[in-house]
Amino acid sequence: MALVELGKFYNSLEAGIVQGRLEAAGIDCFMFDFNMTLEGVGFLIPVRLMVDEDDLAEARRILSEAGGSEAD
């Protein structure tokens, strides 16, 4: 299992919503750097949402169908 970055979020709430959507679809995902940011100053260290490289295409498809995300 190799993790790859699905996206960066400057708001941990948005990252959590995306994580929940993916996990509801059966895709395991992990937040990196979640505790490294404070709301309001999150632009310093974004939350990175990581998925297994084998799930990356499916995760992107799910987010695309849901109207995208604010991830970079």
46: domain CATH number is: 3.30.70.790
Q: Which domain holds residue 53?
A: 3-65
Contact 63, 25 (CB under 8 A): no
Residue 70 lies in a domain: no
Q: Whole-number mean pLDDT of the chain?
A: 85
pTM metric for this prediction: 0.78
Q: What is the average pLDDT across 21-27?
A: 96
Q: What's the pLDDT score for residue 1?
A: 77
Stretch 33-45: mean pLDDT? 67
How many folded domains does the chain comprise? 1
Residue 42 domain-assigned (yes or no): yes
CA distance linking residue 65 with residue 24, whole number of Å: 14
Is 72 among the domain residues? no
Instruction: Write out pLDDT tens, residues 45-55.
Output: 889 999 999 99
